[in-house]
Structure 1
Amino acid sequence: MRIDLGDDEQPEIGLIALIDCIFFLLMFFMVATSFKQPSALKPQAELPVSLPVSQVSLEPNEAGAAPLVIGVDQDGQLFLDGARVSTQVLHGRLKQEAAANPRRRVRIDGDQLARYQDIVHVLDLCQFERLTDISMHTRSAR
């Protein structure tokens, strides 16, 4: 049995609805897309630094307590006030110094053949204990 639906109209696609959908998608992608700026206009994330050689070794001009001296030799061995120590002993001493005086000065004497990573490790230990007055000892080039 056949059901009569009325006039035999051909189905048609609503172009207005299709244009609205395409316009909506176009606007969505325009808003959601981040536009990349040319690299010449961007500020540099890092400073191009080449580390200088010290021509003159300056004497400290501050009066006060002598700094805590940490030495690093070319093999990565640590020295605290001239005596060889392990990393754990150095960390414990830094913790004690920070508890006694958070503004305690620290001076790092690194051998010129010491690995940079060993110096950074000492800096990390100082920063972990919140010791921020850190200086590097240099010798004059004369």
Structure 2
Amino acid sequence: MRINLGEDEQPEIGLIALIDCIFFLLMFFMVSTSFSQQTATQGQRELAVVLPEASTSLEPAGTSGGVVSISVDKKGNLFLDGEEISTKGLQDHLRKIGEANKQTLVEIAGDETASYKTIVSVIDICQFEGLTNIALQTRNK
């Protein structure tokens, strides 16, 4: 006895699933190739710090002790006069400056996307070493 199950259907390739897979692979390669990291040239001395804007700004008064410039980039790395430095190295350097002259002006240039905690820790280090003449740099509109 033979059972009739109906007409035999021809197998089909699922085009919708195939198109989804190809679209997913295309998007994956487009996104993965667009994230190329820029390499810094060795001769370049400019830091990638974008200062926050301020509606008004004052020029700091002249100081007799000189100026120390500290920069904080968006990743939280510290730079002293353009050279990268660790937190411990910064504290040691500020201790020497504080022993020589407590009136030294410390300019802190923090990136606008830098962590507030990092900027506050730099201010705390300055105050701990006796340097209270601190200026936060901004850019004018």
Q: TM-score of the superposition, structure 2-length normalised? A: 0.58
Q: Find the counterpart in structure 2 of residue 54 from structure 1.
A: 54
Deviations 1:106-136 (A, max 9, x none): 1100000101000001011011111100010
Deviations 1:14-53 (A, max 9, x none): xxxxxxxxxxxxxxxxxxxxxxxxxxxxxxxxxxxxxx95
Secondary structure of 1:135's aligned partner: strand
Quick one: distance in 2 between partners of 1:74 and 1:137? 15
| 1:115 alignment partner AA | S
Q: Find the counterpart in structure 1 of residue 113 from structure 2.
A: 113
Alpha-carbon RMSD across the aligned residues, in angstroms, is 1.9
Quick one: distance in 1 between partners of 2:109 and 2:71? 5
> Residue 55 of structure 1: CA displacement?
1.4
Structure of larger gyration radius: 1
Where do 5+ consecutive residues of structure 1 fail to align?
1-51
Quick one: distance in 1 between partners of 2:110 and 2:117? 11
Q: Find the counterpart in structure 2 of residue 49 from structure 1.
A: none
Of all paired residues, the percent bearing the same amino acid is 43
* Aligned positions, number: 90
> Residue 86 of structure 1: CA displacement?
0.5
Q: How does 1:1-142 map to 2 (within 5 A)?
A: 54-62=54-62, 64-141=64-141
Quick one: distance in 2 between partners of 1:104 and 1:67? 6
Where do 5+ consecutive residues of structure 2 fail to align?
1-51
Quick one: distance in 1 between partners of 2:91 and 2:61? 28
Asked whether the equivalents of residues 98 and 129 of structure 1 are also in contact (C-alpha less than 8 Å), the reply is yes
Quick one: distance in 1 between partners of 2:71 and 2:129? 18
Q: TM-score of the superposition, structure 1-length normalised? A: 0.58
Asked whether the equivalents of residues 56 and 139 of structure 1 are also in contact (C-alpha less than 8 Å), the reply is no
Q: Comparing 66-75 with 54-63, which one deviates more in the overlay?
A: 54-63
Displaced runs of 4+ in structure 1, greater than 4 A?
none
| 1:107 alignment partner AA | E
Quick one: distance in 2 between partners of 1:130 and 1:61? 19
| 2:96 alignment partner AA | Q
Quick one: distance in 2 between partners of 1:77 and 1:63? 27
Distance 1:125 1:139, change over 3 A: same
Of Structure 1 and Structure 2, the greater strand share is in: 2
> Residue 57 of structure 1: CA displacement?
3.6
Distance 1:132 1:61, change over 3 A: closer
